[in-house]
């Protein structure tokens, strides 16, 4: 018996034919990541409850069935976040044919100033397909913690800064954090990986 067939039969025993096929295809896809850093072991995300820029609830179910790229920031960020959103915009332009299988997500770490309306206006400037998420400080901190992301308020008054992790985090269609990208990245590096992944995605 071949190793591949053995894995397939074992998976069928655990979860049924359809679920197993989905799992095996996605695990093979994650091996196509060449320009980021793949985690030695994917980390399942817990359920969460955030709100998108249109006021709709966004939870773990919204991550299932698609590859998601997640980053954290805030709209008053002077340089890092605009650069990150410009990268999102550039990669999205290269991925238009694959967007049914992908989604790009920006999570604010500054809900005090980043209202849904502000998020929507800010993200539409870069690309209308970017999903913006907000919530309470506790909700955001809990979600960020799943990616080992830390953020902290610096300074006082209305012009305070938010120190935060700048990475891009790749979540697979089962809701597992599977890889990460450290900026700055040359244009198209993420798109190359995600195009390869999407092209192997038969779901």
Model pLDDT for residues 119-162, shown as the tens digit of each residue: 999 999 999 999 999 999 999 999 999 999 999 999 988 889 99
Picking from 9-13, 81-85, 111-115, which range would have the lowest pLDDT averaged per residue?
9-13
Same domain, 172 and 82: yes
pLDDT level of residue 52 (50, 70, 90 thresholds): very high
Same domain, 87 and 18: no
Is position 98 annotated in a ligand binding site? Answer: no
Q: Check residue 30 and give its pLDDT.
A: 47
Q: Check residue 197 and give its pLDDT.
A: 83
Same domain, 136 and 151: yes
- The pTM is what? 0.82
Is position 164 annotated in a ligand binding site? Answer: yes
Same domain, 25 and 41: no
Q: Check residue 198 and give its pLDDT.
A: 74
Its domain, for residue 26, covers: 1-30
Q: Check residue 62 and give its pLDDT.
A: 98
Count how many domains the chain has: 2
Same domain, 54 and 132: yes
CA torsion 126→128→129→134, rounded to 10°? 80
Task: Give yes or no for residue 179 having a pLDDT over 90.
Answer: yes
Same domain, 131 and 161: yes
pLDDT level of residue 192 (50, 70, 90 thresholds): very high
Helix, coil or strand: residue 18: helix
pLDDT level of residue 31 (50, 70, 90 thresholds): low
Same domain, 125 and 54: yes
Structure-block tokens of residue 21? 């096929």
For 63-88, how does the pLDDT look when each residue is reduced to its tens digit (9 = 90+)? 999 999 999 999 999 989 999 999 99
| Residues across the chain | 203
Give me the residues paired with residue 163 across strands. Answer: 152
Residue 116 near residue 143 (C-beta atoms within 8 A)? no
CA dist 176 → 4, 27, 70, 111 (Å): 23, 11, 12, 25
Q: Check residue 200 and give its pLDDT.
A: 66
Same domain, 85 and 112: yes
Same domain, 70 and 14: no
Percent of the chain with pLDDT over 70: 83
Same domain, 9 and 82: no
């Amino acid at each position: 018996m071949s190793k591949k067939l053995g894995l397939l039969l074992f998976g069928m025993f655990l979860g049924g034919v359809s679920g197993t096929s989905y799992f095996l295809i996605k695990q093979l896809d994650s091996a196509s990541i060449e320009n980021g850093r793949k985690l030695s072991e994917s980390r399942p995300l817990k359920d969460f409850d955030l709100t998108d820029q249109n006021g709709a609830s966004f939870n773990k179910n919204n991550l299932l069935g698609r590859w998601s790229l997640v980053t954290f920031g805030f709209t008053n960020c002077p340089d890092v976040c605009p650069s990150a959103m410009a990268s999102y915009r550039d990669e999205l332009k290269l991925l238009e044919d694959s967007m049914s299988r992908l989604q790009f997500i920006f999570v604010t770490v500054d809900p005090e100033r980043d209202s849904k309306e502000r998020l929507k206006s800010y993200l539409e400037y870069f690309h209308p397909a970017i999903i913006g998420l907000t919530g309470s400080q506790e909700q955001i901190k809990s979600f960020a913690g799943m990616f080992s992301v830390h953020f902290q308020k610096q300074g006082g008054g209305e012009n305070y800064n938010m120190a935060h992790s700048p990475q891009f985090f790749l979540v697979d269609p089962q809701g597992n954090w599977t890889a990460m990208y450290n900026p700055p990245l040359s244009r198209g590096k993420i798109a190359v990986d995600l195009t390869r992944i999407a092209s192997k995605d038969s779901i």
